[in-house]
Amino acid sequence: MSSQILNLSTDSFDQYVSKDSNIVLLDIWAEWCGPCKQLSPILDEVAELYLDEVKVYKVNADQNQDITEKLKVRGLPTLLVMVNGEEKERILGLTSKTRICQVLDQHLEG
């Protein structure tokens, strides 16, 4: 995992996500989830590409079920694009770096 990506817990979620006016890319994942493991190196690359523009965080769904319930996560992996704690976009399942970058670019431009 990239040093740019923080693992969040219930205690740190509000501090890093709810109050952040920057664009946040939140990865909801689990250890047992094969597609989540495939997505991890893609997110490392995205975190490096958008170093100064987007904060990338991970939340382990099994260890933070209160967060997944609050965000109405129904499948893994789930990527959420958020600003000020408000969900702007949701990407379900394994996706490409290109797709993630397209989504982030739309929110950065707009």
Query: Hey, which residues are catalytic here?
Result: 33, 36
Q: 10 Å Cβ neighbour count for 99?
A: 12
> Burial of 4 by CB count in 10 Å (0-12 exposed, 13-18 middle, 19+ buried)?
middle
